[in-house]
């Protein structure tokens, strides 16, 4: 019975690891890690600034309210409403894009997705690498493509910061078509490549927070819960020892 119990645990753990690995490797080789840290409020604030300046025109965060974001990120109501709210929404309302639905469909063929749960669905490594992997592609309707998400219908929203990347293809060989070997920066942006990677890491961190705003509070409470359980376990041990000391 015990052997069957541990075998079930091992099987469940193996399935969990396998599913996580499959998600990380979706579409190809394992992606470089994003290195995000949702406990870093400075990174969250920078990521929020990037999102509201470059992303909210098309994408919503319908499960995140301006008021909750202000509280979690250490921002005042005035800072949020004056610097991050470009839609005229009230402080207690969720973050909704102001792009008309008919415009989105005419430009992109469909409504841009809500990004509230994007980090939960795709993973932070996928988002980070996606933001760094746009390149010019004249064959695409919007003129851009992406090595992480081929044939993406979205243009590069951060091209002014990153610059313009082009794909370097390998030579075609018998039985093998030419493939993309790497991306090269053909026109510099306002940031150096290192600065841009830091910016996309901040944006990814903010989207990770948006997918689970309670994570910040949960992590801080978790420490106290573990300390309580440790103390309770110690007291329970002393009680057991006292209760059974005269029983032989």
Which amino acids are annotated as binding site, given as ranges? 55, 58-59
Angle at CA 190, nearest 5°, toward 186 and 195?
95
**Tokens at 134, concatenated:** 């746009």
Q: What angle separates helix 2-24 from helix 124-131, to the nearest 10 degrees?
A: 10
CB 115 within 8 A of CB 60: yes
| CA dist., res. 146 & res. 160, Å (int) | 16
CA distances from 229 to 113, 137, 236, 239 (A): 42, 57, 10, 15
Cα–Cα distance for residue pair 135/137, rounded to 1 Å: 6
Which residues line the annotated binding site for heme c? 55, 58-59
């Amino acid at each position: 019975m015990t052997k069957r119990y541990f075998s079930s645990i091992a099987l469940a753990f193996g399935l969990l690891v396998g599913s996580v690995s499959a998600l990380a490797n979706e579409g190809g080789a394992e992606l470089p890690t994003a290195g995000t840290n949702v406990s870093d409020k400075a990174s969250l604030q920078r990521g929020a600034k990037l999102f509201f300046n470059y992303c909210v025109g098309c994408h919503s965060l319908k499960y995140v309210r301006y008021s909750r974001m202000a509280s979690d990120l250490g921002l005042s109501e005035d800072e949020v409403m004056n610097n991050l709210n470009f839609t005229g929404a009230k402080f207690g309302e969720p973050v909704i894009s102001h792009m008309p639905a008919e415009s989105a469909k005419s430009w992109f063929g469909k409504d841009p997705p809500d990004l509230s749960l994007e980090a939960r669905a795709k993973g932070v490594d996928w988002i980070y690498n996606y933001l760094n992997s746009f390149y010019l592609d004249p064959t695409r309707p919007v003129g851009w493509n992406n090595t992480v998400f081929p044939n993406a219908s979205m243009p590069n929203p951060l091209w002014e910061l990153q610059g313009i990347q082009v794909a370097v293809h390998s030579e075609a060989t018998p039985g093998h078509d030419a493939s993309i070997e790497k991306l090269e920066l053909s026109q510099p942006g306002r940031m150096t490549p290192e600065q841009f990677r830091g910016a996309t890491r901040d944006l990814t961190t903010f989207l990770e927070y948006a997918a689970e705003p309670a994570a910040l509070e949960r992590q801080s409470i978790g420490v106290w819960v573990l300390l309580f359980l440790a103390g309770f376990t110690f007291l329970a041990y002393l009680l057991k020892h006292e209760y059974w000391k005269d029983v032989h």
